[in-house]
Amino acid sequence: MAAGEAPWSFAFAIPPATQGLRMYSSDFLHGTEDPWTRPISAAHKMVETLTVFDDVFVPWERVFFYNRPDLAGAAALTFVEFHRFTAVSYKLPLLDALVGTGFAVAQANGIERAGHVREKLTWLAGYAETVRGLTQLAAQRCLTEVGIAYPDVFTTNLAKWTFARDFHHALDTVQDLAGGLLVTGPSGMDWKSPEIRPVLDKYLRGAWPADRRMAVINLISDLTARTYGGYQAVLAIHAEGSLEAEKLAMFRAYDSKRAIGLAMRLAGLSEN
Task: Identify residues 21-50 at the interface with a second copy (CB under 8 A).
Answer: 22, 24-28, 30-32, 34, 37, 39-40, 48-50
Determine the Cα angle at 87 with ends 95 and 253, to 5°.
115
CB of 58 to a second copy, least distance (A): 19
Residues in Cβ contact with 205 at an 8 Å cutoff, skipping those fewer than 6 apart? 213
Verify binding: residue 221, a second copy, rule CB under 8 A.
yes
Subset of residues 50 to 79 that bind a second copy, contact rule: CB under 8 A? 50, 52, 54
- Give the DSSP letter string of 105-129: HHHHTT-TTSHHHHHHHHHHHHHHH
Q: Which CA distances in Å does 13 have to 5, 33, 49, 104, 115?
A: 21, 34, 17, 44, 54
Q: Residue 110: phi, psi to the nearest 5?
A: 75, 25
- Give the DSSP letter string of 97-108: HHHHHHHHHHHH
Smaller CB distance to a second copy: residue 22 or 45?
22
Q: Which CA distances in Å does 92 have to 60, 99, 135, 216?
A: 38, 11, 9, 19
Smaller CB distance to a second copy: residue 67 or 140?
140
Subset of residues 166 to 185 that bind a second copy, contact rule: CB under 8 A? 167-169, 171-172, 175-176, 179-180, 182-185
Smaller CB distance to a second copy: residue 68 or 165?
165
Residues in Cβ contact with 267 at an 8 Å cutoff, skipping those fewer than 6 apart? none
Member of 93, 110, 198, 209 binding a second copy (CB under 8 A): 93
Verify binding: residue 158, a second copy, rule CB under 8 A.
yes
Verify binding: residue 20, a second copy, rule CB under 8 A.
no
Verify binding: residue 109, a second copy, rule CB under 8 A.
no
* Residues 194-213: x where in contact with a second copy by CB under 8 A, - otherwise, as a string: --x--xx--xx-------x-
Verify binding: residue 114, a second copy, rule CB under 8 A.
yes
Q: Looking at this protein, which amino acid is placed at residue 55?
A: D
Member of 80, 87, 88, 104 binding a second copy (CB under 8 A): 104
Subset of residues 129 to 148 that bind a second copy, contact rule: CB under 8 A? 129-130, 133-134, 136-137
